[in-house]
Amino acid sequence: MAKYPKIPEATIRRLSNYLKALLDLESKQEKVASSALIATICNVNAAQVRKDFAYFGEFGIRGMGYNVKELKFHIKEILGINRIWRIAVVGIGNLGSSLLMYKDFLKQNYKIVAAFDIDPVKVIGHISEQMGKPVEILHIDNLKEVVKARNIEIGIITTPPQEAQKVANLLVDANVKGILNFSPSPVRVAEHVKLRNVFFTAALDHLVYYMSN
């Protein structure tokens, strides 16, 4: 059974935003934050902030606000990012390369420990300094054994659309627990694997809808 059943997905998305706000406040040496301050930073209202937190218990003190460090700890625990999650990126094109260079993953306890491609020009078989991070780029034929050896739990797909389902199948066969698919083509996986298909055009459609209405 899920630890926190029946939590709206919108609340989970906002928790991630609240965490970013708290990290920013902590970097500014702020010790306490009110729901109104968090709401302002995250562009929601204070009642929504309090409602979202109420799903998980009482974290603040009425009239005093929230201890920034303690609330950050609780949100990380709720989201499951109070430990390192080991990730593989499959498809080292423009997007895949950008993910390898993204420096803020580790701040959220996400660690890319391997990258895979089929292109021999990209598969260099050693640590890639050009990517700005020590990530080894390997041939996709090695995916299953590397996933097992490096305890990789999450696969990120950044391949062309025609390769996405094939890669998803390989990741499932390698026993990853979750897949984030950035390919323009949706993929399907077994029920025991958590999947998110992320489409940039869908996000743009959502934005343009509100701009047009």
Q: Cα–Cα distance between 32 and 133 in angstroms, integer? A: 35
Average pLDDT, the chain: 89
> CB–CB of 182/160 below 8 Å?
no
Domains and CATH numbers, the chain: 9-79 (1.10.10.10), 85-201 (3.40.50.720)
pLDDT, tens digit, for every residue of 36-49? Answer: 999 999 999 999 99
pTM for this entry: 0.86
Confidence of residue 132 (pLDDT cuts 50, 70, 90): low
The 10s digit of each residue's pLDDT in 12-41 is: 999 999 999 999 999 999 999 999 999 999
Length of the chain counted residue by residue: 213
pLDDT of 66 above 90: yes
Question: Three-state SS string across the chain, please?
Answer: CCCCCCCCHHHHHHHHHHHHHHHHHHHCCCCEECHHHHHHHHCCCHHHHHHHHHCCCCCCECCCEEEHHHHHHHHHHHHCCCCCEEEEEECCCHHHHHHHHCCCCHHHCEEEEEEEECCCCCCCCCEECCCCCCEEEEEHHHHHHHHHHCCCCEEEECCCHHHHHHHHHHHHHCCCCEEEECCCCCCCCCCCCEEEECCHHHHHHHHHHHHHC
